[in-house]
């Protein structure tokens, strides 16, 4: 074999594992060795499950050798954001408050991954309680961007993004409330999917905001993303918000290609709010899609600039409600930034919260109207590249603004509307930092987004570039 094992994608490993040309034991050992070598410098993991992973790999090897191959995830090492419950393994949510919490059952998504034969390799770092966009964590250390260790990886699923980008595991699970899968995916040059609300169960995931939370795959390729989504998606009687809508064969949908696909380019967010390199890369991506047969045209959604203002009351007040007791009894155990956000969430009036929820309905209807005439709406995932550690302001073509609003300007659109969104790598800045392209789709039509994303990756090589770690 000419390529190092850690360079293999999930799909590539799966093919070798099924043919017994690769052993899960060998693959797991290779990735654990890489974690041991790299993670002290990158801070992606909170808990490494070395012994458990080796044991599970041995069991997978025996099962596959005996002819019991469970499917593409069988024998694949996977990282799990440490806000997702894992039976018998502590789940800290990146917090001091839950530092000793050991769940007695798996989250539904973890149970489904285990049933599909996946091997849990570790629990991944995050912004405390997933309430922030930098992944600077005062309790477990800062996850560092593998493209430049002096920069943020983005958050809150920063550890998941770093682990995948640095090839410590081919796949990780993240959670996305306002940006938390897509933002770190874009800033580390990987793929991240926020599914439609109701597509993937949240049972057994520590709540951030009940009406915004989702769980999604973070991978290097869209094909791998499709494989993981298929394993975790679908109705769960333990989560009343999951929809009883059949899960399609996402891998089959990848082959549809870009010919005739209708792409809407959202023109309502001023390009001056982007860094020049981001604008250039996104425009180049649109030309690439068009060159591959897609029909690209401008679309407009009124009041889209207010999405961030509608997101904030929900994305702040709901966490404050969840944390109300701890905020009063154990306030000193929170990091300063998270404590401030939790206090801020208590400052909204009930009517402001309800108006924000009503605006969500308005914007959802406007997006779904536009999506009757296009298959996906495209924009940057985020308007700037990874910032240096400690930086709080973003500089773009229009000037300077605080990071928190700039970070979620584009990701807020899918969060507020509940629609699915995919981030795929679409280029690099002049300093060599990754840039992401976001595609928003119709409700429960993740398949179309994955098809477009895979089509794009078939004619580009951004996703094959690896950071020099």
In sequence order, the 6+-apart residues with CB closer than 8 A to the CB of 458 are none
Least separation in angstroms between CB 178 and another protein? 13
Least separation in angstroms between CB 128 and another protein? 17
Least separation in angstroms between CB 199 and another protein? 9
Number of neighbouring beta carbons within 10 Å of residue 79: 30
When binding is defined by CB under 8 A, the residue of 65, 347, 393, 398 that contacts another protein is: 347
Q: Which of the following is catalytic: 81, 160, 281, 429?
A: 81
Residue 403 is encoded by which pair of tokens? 């990071």
Q: Answer yes or no: 281 catalytic.
A: no
| ω into 156 cis (within 30 of 0) | yes
Task: Provide the 8-state DSSP code for 385.
Answer: P
Nearer to another protein, 243 or 389 (CB): 243
CA 256 to chain centre: 24
Q: Which of the following is catalytic: 23, 157, 180, 320?
A: 180
- Contact flag: residue 366 with another protein (CB under 8 A): no
Do 119 and 76 form a contact (C-beta atoms < 8 A)?
yes
When binding is defined by CB under 8 A, the residue of 7, 36, 252, 346 that contacts another protein is: 346
Give the strands of the sheet with 434-440, arranged side by side: 45-48, 119-124, 77-81, 171-176, 214-219, 191-194, 421-428, 434-440, 376-380, 262-266, 295-299
User: Helix axis angle, 307-322 relative to 350-370, nearest 10°?
Assistant: 130
- Contact flag: residue 433 with another protein (CB under 8 A): no
Do 170 and 76 form a contact (C-beta atoms < 8 A)?
yes
Nearer to another protein, 87 or 241 (CB): 241
Question: Of 373, 424, 394, which is closest to residue 133 (Cα–Cα)?
Answer: 394
When binding is defined by CB under 8 A, the residue of 29, 265, 344, 370 that contacts another protein is: 344
Three-class secondary structure assignment of 39-83: HHHHCCEEEECHHHHHHHHHHHHHHHHCCCCCCCCCCCEEEEECC
Least separation in angstroms between CB 247 and another protein? 13
Residue 233 is encoded by which pair of tokens? 């998606």
**Residues 180-199 within binding reach of another protein (CB under 8 A):** 196-198
Q: Answer yes or no: 95 catalytic.
A: no
- Contact flag: residue 308 with another protein (CB under 8 A): yes
Stretch that binds another protein, among 57-65, 98-106, 133-141, 442-450 (CB under 8 A): 442-450
- Contact flag: residue 270 with another protein (CB under 8 A): no
- Contact flag: residue 465 with another protein (CB under 8 A): no
- Contact flag: residue 392 with another protein (CB under 8 A): no
Least separation in angstroms between CB 334 and another protein? 11
Q: Which of the following is catalytic: 23, 156, 160, 429?
A: 156
Q: Answer yes or no: 81 catalytic.
A: yes
In sequence order, the 6+-apart residues with CB closer than 8 A to the CB of 286 are 263, 265, 296, 378
Nearer to another protein, 140 or 444 (CB): 444
**Residues 226-245 within binding reach of another protein (CB under 8 A):** 240-245
Name the residues that contact another protein, by CB under 8 A. Answer: 196-198, 211, 240-245, 303, 306, 308-310, 312-313, 316, 327-328, 331, 339-341, 343-344, 346-348, 351-352, 354-362, 364-365, 368, 405, 416, 418, 442-445
Active site residues: 81, 156, 180
């Amino acid at each position: 074999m000419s390529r190092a094992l850690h360079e293999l994608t999930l799909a590539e490993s799966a093919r070798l594992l099924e043919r017994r040309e690769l052993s899960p034991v060998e693959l797991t050992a290779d990735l654990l060795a890489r974690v041991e070598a790299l993670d002290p410098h990158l801070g992606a993991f909170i808990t490494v499950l070395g012994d458990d992973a080796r044991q599970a790999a041995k069991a997978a090897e025996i099962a596959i050798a005996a002819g019991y191959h469970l499917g593409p995830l069988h024998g694949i090492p996977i990282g799990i954001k440490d806000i997702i419950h894992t039976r018998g393994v502590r789940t800290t949510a990146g917090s001091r408050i839950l530092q000793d919490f050991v769940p007695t059952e798996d989250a539904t998504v973890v149970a489904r991954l285990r049933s599909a034969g996946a091997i849990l390799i570790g629990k991944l770092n995050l912004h405390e309680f997933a309430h922030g966009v930098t992944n600077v964590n005062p309790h477990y250390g800062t996850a560092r961007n593998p493209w430049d260790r002096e920069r943020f990886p983005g958050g809150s699923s920063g550890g998941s993004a770093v682990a995948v980008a640095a090839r410590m595991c081919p796949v990780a699970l993240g959670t996305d409330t306002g940006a938390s899968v897509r933002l770190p995916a874009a800033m580390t040059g990987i793929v991240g999917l926020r599914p439609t609300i109701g597509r993937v169960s949240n049972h057994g995931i520590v709540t951030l905001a009940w009406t915004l939370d989702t769980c999604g795959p973070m991978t290097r390729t869209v094909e791998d993303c499709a494989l993981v989504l298929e394993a975790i998606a679908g109705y769960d009687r333990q989560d009343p918000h999951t929809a009883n809508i059949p899960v399609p064969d996402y891998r089959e949908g990848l082959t549809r290609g870009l010919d005739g696909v209708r792409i809407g380019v959202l023109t309502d967010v001023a390009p001056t709010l982007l860094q020049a390199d981001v604008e250039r890369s996104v425009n180049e991506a649109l030309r690439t899609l068009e060159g591959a047969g897609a029909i690209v045209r401008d679309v407009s959604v009124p009041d889209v600039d207010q999405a961030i203002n509608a997101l904030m009351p929900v994305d702040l007040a709901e966490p404050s409600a969840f944390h109300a007791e701890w905020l009063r009894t154990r306030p000193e155990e929170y990091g300063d930034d998270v404590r401030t956000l939790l206090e801020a969430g208590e400052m909204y009036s009930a009517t402001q919260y309800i108006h924000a929820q009503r605006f969500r309905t308005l914007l959802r209807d406007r997006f779904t109207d536009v999506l009757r005439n296009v298959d996906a709406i495209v924009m940057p995932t985020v308007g700037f590249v990874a910032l240096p550690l400690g930086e709080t302001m973003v500089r773009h073509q229009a000037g300077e603004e605080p990071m928190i609003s700039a970070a979620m300007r584009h990701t807020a659109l899918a969060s507020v509307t509940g629609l699915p969104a995919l981030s795929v790598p679409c280029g690099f800045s002049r300093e060599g930092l990754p840039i992401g392209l976001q595609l928003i789709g119709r409700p429960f039509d993740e398949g179309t987004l994955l098809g477009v994303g895979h089509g794009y990756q078939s004619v580009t090589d951004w996703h094959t570039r690896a950071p020099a770690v």
